[in-house]
Amino acid sequence: MKIAIIGAGALGLYYGARLQQAGEDVHFLLRRDREAIRQRGLQVYSIDGDFHLDQVQGYASADEMPTVDLVIVGLKTFANSQLKSLITPLLTEQTAILTLQNGLGNEERLAQLFGRPRILGGVAFLCSNRGEPGVVHHLSQGPIRLGEFCGGLSSRAEEISAMFNRARVHCTAVADLKKIRWEKLVWNVPFNGLCALTGKTTDQLLAHPPSRTLIEEIMAEVVAGANAQELTSPIDGAAFAAQLIKLTEGMGAYQPSMMIDREQGRPLELEAIYGIPLQHAGEQGIDLPRIAMLHSLLAVTEG
């Protein structure tokens, strides 16, 4: 399959490298890493085995890239204003678009630009970060769940899922994209925000009893907001939160993406991870006071 990676940060570089390693025809839109990758290739240090790609098809502009069968979007959501200019040159009538971005609202934005039938969404539970230019560190996890924006379990979603699995990325196609989006928020909302605000890693927050309790309370609020959204089946809040906390304890001293963005002076993904979920919950009459406070504190400390 011919694939374009738009948003070649830690997520885009890692998954794109895995797909290329498995024999897919992958094309990367590169910014910071372009010169280093051109000179030295792409190095991946992974818990599943290190590997190096000597040759990478990297481009400085989307206008230089070929049309493809699948566009994978890994952009930070604060860059969504660029979606039209970055994706339009890559499309044929059959091209599918899969967004692996955080939060809510990304599929809707893409559907407005390119039409609902093209769009799939996915959630990636991946612990990775970039090292020096041309280097990616895969620290933990990595599974993807994906589905059609229009709903239902499609052969297209299953085909893309099978492709990821051949590339040593555990991937599952699902019928209810909305549910998996909210399930990812159960982790993203507390850990991204609290780590960015406090400068503490996930293990430090969980080791502090009051912070651990706050994490559990925020998770419960996300679940309440999710279960008001007419999902195909409700999220079992207590059991799911306990599962996520146990998983996070196994990550060690992990820095979520929002914490890294704040440390490096980049904008935060506040609208997708906080603003839109709060709006959707409010439309169903669900009040999420802890999440609203967290959103407010993150917003007031931006810039």
120 and 204, same domain (yes or no): no
Amino acid code (one letter) for 202: T
Domain boundary among 147, 175, 203: 175
- Answer for the pair 84, 113: CB distance below 8 angstroms, yes or no: yes
Exactly one of 179, 184, 200, 246 is catalytic; name it. 184
CA dist., res. 211 & res. 61, Å (int): 44
- CATH number, residue 237: 1.10.1040.10
80 and 186, same domain (yes or no): no
- Both tokens of residue 16? 């794109």
194 and 276, same domain (yes or no): yes
- Answer for the pair 81, 20: CB distance below 8 angstroms, yes or no: no
Domain boundary among 175, 193, 220: 175
The pLDDT assigned to 303 comes to: 67
The pLDDT assigned to 131 comes to: 87
167 and 204, same domain (yes or no): no
184 is catalytic: yes
- Both tokens of residue 223? 């679940």
263 and 121, same domain (yes or no): no
Domain count, the chain: 2
156 and 205, same domain (yes or no): no
16 and 161, same domain (yes or no): yes
Structural domain for 238, as ranges: 179-300
Mean pLDDT by 10 residues, the chain (303 residues): 96 98 98 94 96 97 98 97 98 98 98 98 94 94 97 97 98 97 98 98 98 98 97 95 96 94 95 98 98 97 83
285 and 139, same domain (yes or no): no
**What is each CA distance from 164 to 14, 34, 167, 271, in whole angstroms?**
12, 24, 5, 29
95 and 135, same domain (yes or no): yes
- Answer for the pair 41, 52: CB distance below 8 angstroms, yes or no: yes
- Answer for the pair 205, 199: CB distance below 8 angstroms, yes or no: no
Domain boundary among 114, 147, 175: 175
The pLDDT assigned to 114 comes to: 98
- CATH number, residue 102: 3.40.50.720
184 and 251, same domain (yes or no): yes
CA dist., res. 224 & res. 236, Å (int): 10
203 and 168, same domain (yes or no): no
144 and 194, same domain (yes or no): no
Burial status of residue 179 (CB atoms within 10 A of its CB: 0-12, 13-18, 19 or more): buried
